[in-house]
Structure 1
Amino acid sequence: MPDAHPFSVAGQRVVIHLQPLEDEGLDDPSLAANLRETCAAQGPVLVVANGFTTRALVGTDGKDEWHDIGHGDFGDECKTAIRPLLRARRLFWVTVSVLPTTAQAISPNQLSPATTGTITTWQKGARNLTTPKGRQAEASAATRQVVSAQAAWRCQFPGCGADLREHASTGRQGNFSYFAHIVASSPDGPRGSVRDSTRLADDPSNFLLLCDACHRLIDRISASEYPTEKLHAIRDANISEVSRLLDTLRYREVKPYAILGNLGNQVAYLSSTEVREALWNSKLRCSKDAPESLFQPGNHLYKDQTATYWGALFEKLHQEIPQVQRYISGASHNGGGRDELAIFPLHLTSILTLAGHILGDNGGIHLFQPHRDKVGGDLVTRWAWPTSATPPSPEKYKVRTLGSSSADSEEACLLVSLTFSIDPTRLPAHCYKNGEWALPALEVYVDEPSANVISHPEDLQHFGRRLDDALRTLQDQFRAKKIHLIVGAPTTAAVVVGQKMQARHHPPFICHESIGGPQAPFLPSIEISSAQVTELASGATCSLQP
């Protein structure tokens, strides 16, 4: 090579020092685009390649400075992009034994001007090392069957899951999978090993089932980002997840309902993924892809204390209560049996109480609640019941008398203090005044109220039993003809309160809401009788008769 060789400074050949790369690799089209931009600049271009992936750099004439163009898959588009460089003899090629992204120094004696033949020969070798053509015998029919079945014939790369029995663009049926070695079958291939390559060439535990794009990613685009340990972890996680998902086919089907309102001027949201994960966690599965929404006045109405909000809400009640009642009774199934129900409640407590009253205390209703700050750990979604929760003691929920019954009192109060102890000074004066109870009152409570008080499905069973005790006392002993209901409890407990109302025998319940902060007063919101629900501010009514 002449003294004017681009890898010399002041006539002296110099060693090229490279910094390790940690950025993402590029596919063939992206790397080609970068190379095309480089063709318009001056200075030499250097491609550092091992047997299956590359790194490209551009130099500055007369200076020992090199800048990365990118690294990854050098395919046919790259070969086309560098033609101007080949004609100008500005492209140089060097082969290294390590990953190009980790190469630290290039000796001038390793360098040679690249030719079309250089690139063609390299690409052929890269295909031999990274593609299954001509190498299917390395994965025997038995191994391919095991690997395919474990992956359910889908790409195992995280977030892909492509169906490998169908061509991605044409939809044609066939086998479009790549049985990708984790430890390459050749010591010179991606993650190759002199000790293990031959030994593991047909071992099912050494394979990932991948689509073409993901196969190229781990072998030729970003090989340095996917070492053996990471790919084994991907394989193990995928097999475990596929097994879990297939197991859900054995679970009982339920029909999911989302009872969502706008709380604290925020729009409630529940995704189909959250629903599926929560159901699977309880060994149930959806009978449809998305939950059906109930009693939601509209996302544009987010202020829950306004007359407009309640007006829109009652319009929804008029439409949807009859639909739910027909489904519960089986009328919508022509007298046949209905699916079990899964209820996901996140609404005002008075509306959740109403929903429970409509659903009734029948079997086949599964309640789920959002658990605050509990995503992760033993929860796959905040709506799943924590797997680490232990069944509560039957004595966890208790009933006590706060205000005594009197012969001339036709009204009474029922407090439910689970997430917090209800301060009676926050109640209306007709319930509590001047430090004394103006009405007889009972309270269902726990010794240590908290947001996580209900963390196991059996909590709802024990709470329901104590609630039954309180309601019997209010009706049989207090003989209350109207009950003022004040609830400080998780969403599922509010639904249970409504379920425990006897449809044809209970007195009207005046539900109260606290809107405006932790110390805001409780004010009457709706009245629920056996015949109808009434919005107390406007007098709007909606029938509850089937």
Structure 2
Amino acid sequence: MSTETVVIHQAQHDPIGSLEKLGEFINAIGTLPKWSEGGVLTDKSAQNQLIVLLSETLNVSVRLNLVFGEIEAAFNKLGIADEVHVRHMQGKHLERKHLASMESVIAIWNESQAQSMDIKIKDLPDFLRAIWEKRQTKGRGKSFSKGTLEQLARDSHGYCMFEGCGENLNVEKLTGYTGNFAYNAHIIASSESGPRGVPYLSDYQSDDPENVLVLCDKHHRLIDKVAAVDFDAARLSHMRSSFTHTVESLLEGLSFKPIPAFSVLWPVGGHIVSEPDDRDIANSMSRIRARSLGRLNRLSHNERLYRKKVEVFESSMADIVRAEADEIIQQTQNESYKAALFAFGPMPALVGLGACLGNKCEITPMLRFRDGGYWMWPQDSEVPKPYNIAFDEVELEGKDEVTVCIAMTQYPEAMKRTAEKIGMPTIEIQALAYGNAAIPHPDNGKQLRNDLHALLLKLYDQFSIRKVNLLICASNAVSVFVGQAFDLYQPYLLVYDFDSEVMKPCLQIHYQERKLSLTLPN
């Protein structure tokens, strides 16, 4: 059985000024655990030092104000002997905002992970003094070894790692000459006197491939000469890890099955959404271990008429949705009805689109991740069921109609008021954590689709429910998954959308003579 981690955030208070006071602090904590991670965080010019100690049961932050001769004894009292892990905030000062909470302390601790080394406790005073005194030894650190150069070639694949650049470094575009036009740029400078130079760390990381960006000429000059102050070590390290992760994802896609990818973009309230770019498509489809077969099939793209006159889309919604679904089904016949679907629009339209596509195919909707402003699934793999389904079966007895509230991004008052106004038993499907990423992986979306499919069958067979008022507040992908749950021998759906302070019925989904039908409510 897991226990909650205790947090002791001393660093938000005045520093501890003596070994005696430190002993009293530790005695108040009790028995210290074995730390799984931790050490000293320093900042620019070593103006501040923060001790961070982390374990499964206890997270501690401490600030000390001791003389150098007491440092080793202090760390021994805190359960750290011989060596201490040191992380450096290159180019930044530790500010009050970083000390606002233990969460913010851990965030800045993690951000500085790449600028770190282990130092003998007895050498820590010399390290701090060297930064205080702005020591800048002459000369560069170790030259690049053969192994480091080979690793850099593998990591970069011959392209500039600067965010958004990706220039091919094996060819000069103007003349067409081929060759090696790459610059291997240190993140923590190889020389203590160079851009982003740090005593001890400069020499320690000079031959570490993780401390090197492969860049084109202009971005090498940008980070070292033109705007060095704007590109601190943590930012450059993040840039490197982001590049390598993206490249690995794209190359991994070569082993994935190619399937068609479709975009169906309908404006919402006159507002448009951008279609996915190649990187969005590759990253999104990697979650279903697939890649795009050819170019993106653009079926609908924020048509101007729908943007200017929302009522035109609403009045023709049933026909528009049906036409797009038929086109997708027709174009996937030769692909065993497998495809990725980048669809965005009003929730009733997306539910209707999912219902028309059905659950016998493998057409998987992709998430427009609002928090990031692009198309992606935030989790690499399926998480434990991220929602609950709750209702009282006794209330269903003798009823032929229910209301189903699907609250994923939030559970707004308009939805609650509308459910109360309908006056029928309410089934609540609520996310454990509201937000655009409440369903964070396509397998969780399929899980929701299957659970809702089973629920609708149960309502029809066991309780003789013939109508479901569907009130939904969910992401674009979840809306499609919800529609895919609809099938024969289920109650028909009346799908609602938001209208000021309440919700109004917008689309009816039902079967007529075993054929799915979309109609507008009377």
TM-score normalised by L of structure 1:
0.54
Query: Is contact 1:527–1:534 with CA below 8 Å preserved after alignment?
Result: yes
Does structure 1 residue 260 correspond to structure 2 residue 265? yes
Within the candidate set 500, 510, 516, 1:517 is matched to 500
Instruction: Write the letter of the residue equivalent to 1:279.
Output: M
Q: Do the aligned partners of 2:256 and 2:291 also contact (CA within 8 Å) in 1? A: no
Tell me which residue corresponds to 1:111.
none
Structural mapping, 1:8-157, within 5 Å: 143-157=148-162
Offset, 1:459: 6.2
Q: 1:321 to 1:253 in 2, by over 3 A?
A: same
Partners of 1:494 and 1:253 lie apart in 2 by 25
Would the aligned equivalents of 2:445 and 2:478 in 1 still touch at CA under 8 Å? no
Give the deviation of 1:154 after TM superposition: 1.1
Q: CA deviation at 1:301?
A: 1.5
Q: Paired residue for 1:444? A: 427
Cα offsets for 1:516-546 (capped at 9, x unmatched): 22314435656654435354379xxxxxxxx
- In 1, Cα distance between the equivalents of 2:470 and 2:385? 24
User: Unmatched 5+ residue regions in structure 2?
Assistant: 1-133
- Cα distance in 2 for partners of 1:525, 1:451 equals 27
Indicate which of 295, 301, 304 corresponds to 2:306.
Answer: 301
Query: Is the CA contact (8 Å cut-off) linking 2:143 and 2:207 kept in structure 1?
Result: yes
The offset of 1:488, in angstroms, is 2.2
Match of 1:478 in 2: 464
- 1:465-519 Cα shifts (integer Å, max 9, x gaps): 3542333432565284xx354332424454344323335x567x35343342231
Q: Is the 8 A contact 2:382 2:444 kept in 1?
A: no
RMSD: 4.8
Question: What are the superposed Cα offsets for residues 309-334 of structure 1, whole Å, 9 maximum, x if unpaired?
Answer: 24665564464333222244x2xx2x
Identify the residue that residue 406 of structure 2 maps to in structure 1. 418
Shift of 1:417: 0.9
Name the CA distance, whole Å, in 1 between partners of 2:415 and 2:231.
58
Are 2:216 and 1:211 aligned? Answer: yes
In the TM superposition, residue 236 of structure 1 has moved relative to its aligned partner by 5.1
The verdict on how the C-alpha distance between 1:255 and 1:212 changes in structure 2, with shifts beyond 3 A counting, is same
Give the alignment partner of residue 384 of structure 1, picking from 351, 362, 377: 377
Q: What corresponds to 1:96 in structure 2?
A: none
Deviation at 1:153, TM superposition (A): 0.9
Q: Distance in 2 between matches of 1:257 and 1:319?
A: 14
Alignment of 1:358-507 (within 5 A): 358-362=356-360, 364-370=362-368, 374-375=371-372, 383-386=376-379, 390-392=383-385, 396-398=389-391, 400=393, 402=395, 404-405=397-398, 412-419=400-407, 420=411, 426=418, 443-446=426-429, 451-452=434-435, 454-455=439-440, 457-458=443-444, 460-462=446-448, 464-474=450-460, 478=464, 480=466, 483=467, 485-490=469-474, 491-502=476-487
Shift in alpha-carbon separation, 1:400–1:476, aligned structure 2, 3 A: closer
Is 1:277 paired with 2:265? no
Give the Cα–Cα distance (whole angstroms) in 2 for the partners of residues 241 and 295 of structure 1.
Answer: 28
Alignment partners' CA distance in 2, 1:339 and 1:471: 24
Take 1:321 and 1:220, find their aligned partners in 2: how far apart are those partners? 54
Counterpart of 1:348 in structure 2 is 346
Aligned-residue offset at 1:171: 3.3
Which blocks of at least 5 consecutive residues in structure 1 are unaligned? 1-101, 103-128, 131-136, 407-411, 539-546
> Residues 145 and 207 of structure 2 are in contact (CA less than 8 Å); yes or no, is this contact kept in structure 1?
yes
Distance 1:475 1:366, change over 3 A: same
Shift of 1:167: 1.0
1:297·1:312 contact (CA, 8 Å) conserved in 2?
A: no
Q: Is this contact kept in 1: 2:276–2:374, CA < 8 A?
A: no
- d(CA) in 1 for partners of 2:418 and 2:210? 64
User: CA 1:270/1:405 → structure 2, altered by over 3 Å: closer, same or farther?
Assistant: farther
Contact 1:397-1:444 at 8 Å conserved across structures = yes
Return the offset for 1:213: 1.7
Give deviations 1:84-125, integer Å, cap 9, x for gaps: xxxxxxxxxxxxxxxxxx9xxxxxxxxxxxxxxxxxxxxxxx
What code does the residue aligned with 1:320 have? E
- How far is the alpha carbon of 1:220 from its aligned partner? 4.0
Task: Tell me how far 1:247 sits from its aligned partner.
Answer: 3.7
Using the alignment, how far apart are the partners of 2:336 and 2:282 within structure 1? 20
Q: Residues 170, 535 of structure 1: CA spacing in aligned structure 2 closer, same or farther, 3 A cutoff?
A: farther
Q: Which amino acid aligns with 1:444?
A: I
Contact 1:444 1:467 in 2 (8 A): no
Q: Note the C-alpha offset of 1:237.
A: 5.0
- Aligned partner of 2:167 in structure 1 is 162
* CA pair 510-396 structure 1, distance change in 2 beyond 3 A: closer
Measure how far apart 1:257 and its partner are. Answer: 3.3
Greater share of residues in helix: 2
3-state SS of 1:354 partner: helix
Distance 2:453 2:368 in 1: 22
Matched residue, 1:324: 328
Structure 2 partner of 1:173: 178
Decide whether aligned partners of structure 1 residues 527 and 218 sit closer, same or farther in structure 2, where only a CA change above 3 A counts: same
Deviation of 1:424 (Å): 8.8
2:494·2:507 contact (CA, 8 Å) conserved in 1?
yes
Q: Hey, what's the Cα distance between the residues in 2 that align with 1:349 and 1:194?
A: 57
Q: Give the paired residue count.
A: 374
User: Deviation string for 1:244-303 (max 9, x for gaps)?
Assistant: 5434444454433344333234334443244443334x2634315765445667244137
CA 1:150–1:519: 2 relative to 1, 3 Å: same
Aligned equivalents of 1:493, 1:234: Cα separation in 2: 31
State the distance in 2 between where 1:143 and 1:349 align.
51
In 2: Cα distance, 1:496 partner to 1:399 partner: 24
State the TM-score, normalizing by the size of structure 2.
0.56
Distance 1:245 1:360, change over 3 A: same
Identity of aligned residues (%): 20
Paired residue type of 2:329:
Q
Relative distance call for 1:522 and 1:303 in structure 2 (3 A) is farther
Q: Distance in 2 between matches of 1:449 and 1:208?
A: 40
Residue 464 of structure 1 aligns to which amino acid in structure 2? Answer: N
